């Protein structure tokens, strides 16, 4: 063991000496080129992992993903989905006449294309439209939920697993029963948004191929909520996907931390400020005349000098507050005092034009 360590130290010292001599001589020691094998290339590019999502990616895929936009969190949307869980628990109990428990697994942001590629098939994909927002959303009902809802609505006995024949298309009866479930969920989703803003979600069509359920560009961001529905020994999963473009009309509302947040506005202070403004003293100046004089004439002015104003009785004059002209008036006399009578308002230019 000691001889091996000594030999390693000698090799390291020799390599170090060679590099030092090459640096002093101004040359670079040649090193043999290393050829990467296919496994190392796949690891570098990040293609050595399976399609399973949620795992840490390496190589080029991590570099590409690091350039993606970090999507903002929408606190109020989480409250909306919490309301949806409570409302669905009641409505699905009435719909199935069974004991139904609804829970939410997670809420996350992802790209629409990534989600389409991760949908476990077979499944039913319902495209629905938000009428007031003029955009679309997607609801995915997995195979276990489809067979469970068919079994419950057709009077299947508890404790017997639903018969699943994979590879065959869904029948008309199955599609019709699932559409009824989707209508119930969409009505509950509309009710969940009611405290925030009125919106109507209308069922458009039912697809079984994800390619035909494309409602957004594959690179666009979307919010995904995964719901878990348990009916004693039966159940399944239901997923709701809303693109950020669909939520854009109510984005400001969804950014609130709690219902009715004013973003720093204080109505009590606003009312108090408005009332105090009515009691504010404002100085008004009546401009009888404006003259241009040479600087030498201004310097020559002395106490007792006279400046003749070219304004007669009844002539129009301007009433100003600071540098802003507010009114056009006419000069006159009331009793023993000079007075003005306001004739009309002077339209004021916008702030950016004045500046």
- Give the domain ranges of the chain: 75-159+169-254, 283-290+309-355
For residue 274, what pLDDT is reported? Answer: 85
- The most distant pair of C-alpha atoms in the chain lies apart, rounded to whole Å, by 123
pLDDT band at 292 (very low <50, low <70, confident <90, very high): confident
SS3 32: coil
Q: How many angstroms separate the CA atoms of 204 and 149, rounded?
A: 21
Sequence-separated (6 or more) residues with CB below 8 Å from residue 226:
104, 105, 106, 107, 237, 239
- In this predicted structure, the answer to whether residue 64 has a pLDDT above a threshold of 70 is no
pLDDT band at 281 (very low <50, low <70, confident <90, very high): confident
- Superfamily of 75-159+169-254 according to CATH: CheC-like (3.40.1550.10)
Mean pLDDT score of the chain = 78
- In this predicted structure, the answer to whether residue 51 has a pLDDT above a threshold of 50 is no
Phi, psi of 327 (to 5 degrees): -135, 160
pLDDT, one tens digit per residue, over 101-155 is 888 888 888 888 888 888 888 888 999 999 989 899 999 998 888 888 888 888 7
- In this predicted structure, the answer to whether residue 230 has a pLDDT above a threshold of 70 is yes
What does the block give as tokens for 99? 């004991």
């Amino acid at each position: 063991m000691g001889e091996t360590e000594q030999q390693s130290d000698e090799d390291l010292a020799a390599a170090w000496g060679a590099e030092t001599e090459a640096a002093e001589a101004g040359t670079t020691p040649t090193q043999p080129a290393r050829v990467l094998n296919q496994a190392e290339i796949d690891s570098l590019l990040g293609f050595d992992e399976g399609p399973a999502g949620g795992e840490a990616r390496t190589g080029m895929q991590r570099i590409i993903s690091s350039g993606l936009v970090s999507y903002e969190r929408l606190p109020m949307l989480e409250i909306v989905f919490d309301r949806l869980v409570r409302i669905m628990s009641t409505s699905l109990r009435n719909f199935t006449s069974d004991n139904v428990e609804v829970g939410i697994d997670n809420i996350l942001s992802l790209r629409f294309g990534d989600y389409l590629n991760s949908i476990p098939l077979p499944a039913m994909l319902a495209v629905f439209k938000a009428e007031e927002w003029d955009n679309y959303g997607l609801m995915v009902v997995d195979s276990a939920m489809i067979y469970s809802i068919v079994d419950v609505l057709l009077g299947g006995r508890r404790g017997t697993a639903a018969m699943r024949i994979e590879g065959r298309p869904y029948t008309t009866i199955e599609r019709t029963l699932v559409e009824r479930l989707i209508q119930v969920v969409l009505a509950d989703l509309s009710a969940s948004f009611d405290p925030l803003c009125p919106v109507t979600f209308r069922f458009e069509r039912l697809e079984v191929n994800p390619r035909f359920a494309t409602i957004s560009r594959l690179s666009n961001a979307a919010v995904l909520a995964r719901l878990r529905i348990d009916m004693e020994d039966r159940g399944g999963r239901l997923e709701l996907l809303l693109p950020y473009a669909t939520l854009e009309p109510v984005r400001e509302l969804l950014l609130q931390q709690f219902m009715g947040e004013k973003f720093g506005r204080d109505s009590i202070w606003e009312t108090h400020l408005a009332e105090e403004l009515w009691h504010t003293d404002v100085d008004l100046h009546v401009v009888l005349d404006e003259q241009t004089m040479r600087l030498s004439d201004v310097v020559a002015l002395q106490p007792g000098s006279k400046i003749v104003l070219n304004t007669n009785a009844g002539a129009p004059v301007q009433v100003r507050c600071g540098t802003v002209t507010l009114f056009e008036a006419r000069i006159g006399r009331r009793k023993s005092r000079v007075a003005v009578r306001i004739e009309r308002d002077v339209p004021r230019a916008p702030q950016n034009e004045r500046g």
